Amino acid sequence: MQNVLHLGPLLTGLGFVPMALATVAVSSFTGRLVATYGVGKLLAVAASLLGVGLLWFAVFATAGGMYWTAVLPGMVIAGVGFGLSFAPSLIVATTGVPDADQGLASGLVNTSPLLGGAVGLAVLNTVAVAGDSYRLGFLAAVVSPLLMLACVAAWTRRVHVGGGAADQIRAGHG
CATH number of the domain encompassing residue 140: 1.20.1250.20
| pLDDT band, very low/low/confident/very high, at 137 (cuts 50, 70, 90) | confident
The pLDDT mean for the chain works out to 85
Residue range 124-135: average pLDDT? 85
Segment 82-113, tens digit of pLDDT: 999 988 888 888 888 888 988 888 888 888 88
Residue 1: inside a domain: no
Note the pLDDT of residue 172: 41
Domain count, the chain: 1
d(CA 102, CA 81): 25
Residue 4: inside a domain: no
Residues of the domain holding 54: 9-173
| 3-state SS class at 162 | coil
d(CA 10, CA 166): 45
